Structure 1
């Protein structure tokens, strides 16, 4: 039996976190995403520190690769769901800025 790998464990936690982010994005629970993204970012930082120090055996390497593939797929889904929301927010902010500029130039609407 292979020894426990902290790197594989972190990848597992990251995969769970990103999968949860995908669930939240599908449910349009935008307000819950930032905290979860912060947790995932902390795991990525931990992996950056751990990965160079740990040598994975072939089964651990395969497991890590499967987890990375899952993480990438979930990340792509999250990006696909969040990007239109960000674009909509930017368009709305632009519209509000334009309205403010017009209000300053011509006064409030009657």
Structure 2
């Protein structure tokens, strides 16, 4: 029976969270993404702490490498889906800032 690895478990959790983020991003359900991103960040922090302390066997290494491939592909797609949303938000914020500046300079019309 194989020994349960916390490192492998963390990578499995990370892959699951990113896969869930991908499903949500495809559905344009942006509200839950920050919470999942925070969970991913916590897992990455945990991995930084425990990975140097744990030695993986060959099967575990292969599992982690497979998970890393899946994480990379899913994360790239999530980023591709989120990027246009962020660009749109930045553009809208710039427009609001410009309107506010003009309002201060010329007085509000409301």
Q: 1:37: Cα distance to partner?
A: 0.8
Gaps of 5+ in 2: none
- TM-score under structure 1 normalisation? 0.95
Q: 1:6: Cα distance to partner?
A: 1.1
Q: Secondary structure of the equivalent of 1:56?
A: coil
Question: 1:24-68 deviations in whole A, cap 9, x for unaligned?
Answer: 111111111011111111111111111001111111000000001
Q: 1:7: Cα distance to partner?
A: 0.6
Q: Which residue in 1 is equivalent to 2:12? A: 12
Gaps of 5+ in 1: none
Q: Secondary structure of the equivalent of 1:79?
A: helix
- TM-score under structure 2 normalisation? 0.95
Aligned residues: 110
CA distance in 1, matches of 2:100, 2:41: 37
Q: Which residue in 2 is equivalent to 1:34? A: 34
